[in-house]
């Protein structure tokens, strides 16, 4: 007959497992087992109990969709992105629906000192041409986009100050 309930100690262990590893006290399974008077093998056996395993998986899934955790991750990507981490910026923009997931960003970096004068002039000319084209394009903003853009600018300014 399959168990439908966990013991108090199993519940405590499950709660401990679902903590962020940096917040677990004690920090290891072995130390938890010793502190609670059970063997590490017992903990391994508990993890195999179907109800324990299911509740553990459900707890992990619940953490994955936790809005606070998602927001913390997005904030981290945003901060890295505005500080020049291109991959973080791309992931942030994709996660917030501001960039298509199929868009790729290719970044070529070289030391300016390794370029010849001609190569450097060509790069500057290429950048200037792209910048001129971008400025010349007629950008039409929907009225609904203006408040969102203002908020993004305000958020960026606040992050810059901190």
pLDDT by residue (tens digit) across 20-77?
888 899 999 999 999 999 999 999 999 999 999 999 998 888 877 777 778 888 888 8
- pLDDT band for position 119 (50/70/90)? confident
Residues 159, 78 contacting (CB under 8 angstroms): yes
pTM: 0.46
| 56 to 22, 59, 62, 95: CA distances (angstroms) | 18, 5, 10, 27
Instruction: Check: CB of residue 51 under 8 Å from CB of residue 18.
Output: no
73-108 residue pLDDT tens: 888 888 888 887 888 888 888 888 888 888 777 766
What contacts 43, CB < 8 A, 6 or more positions away? Answer: 13, 29, 32, 33
Contact predicate 12/25, CB 8 Å = no
Q: And the tokens for 98?
A: 């501001």
What are phi and psi for residue 41, nearest 5 degrees? -65, -35
- pLDDT value at position 32? 96
């Amino acid at each position: 007959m399959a168990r439908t309930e966990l013991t108090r100690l199993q519940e405590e262990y499950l709660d401990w497992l679902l903590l962020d590893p940096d917040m677990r006290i004690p920090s290891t399974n072995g130390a938890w087992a010793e502190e609670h008077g059970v063997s590490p093998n017992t903990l391994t056996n508990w993890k195999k109990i179907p109800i324990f395993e299911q509740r553990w998986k459900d707890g992990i899934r619940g953490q994955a969709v936790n809005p606070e955790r998602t927001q913390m991750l997005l904030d981290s990507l945003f901060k890295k992105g505005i500080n020049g981490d291109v991959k973080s910026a791309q992931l942030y923009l994709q996660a917030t629906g501001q960039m298509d997931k199929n868009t790729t960003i290719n970044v070529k970096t070289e030391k300016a000192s390794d370029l010849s004068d001609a190569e450097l002039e060509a790069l500057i000319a290429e950048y200037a041409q792209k910048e001129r084209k971008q400025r010349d394009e007629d950008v039409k903003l929907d009225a609904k986009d203006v408040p969102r853009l203002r908020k993004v600018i305000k958020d960026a300014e606040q992050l810059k100050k901190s």
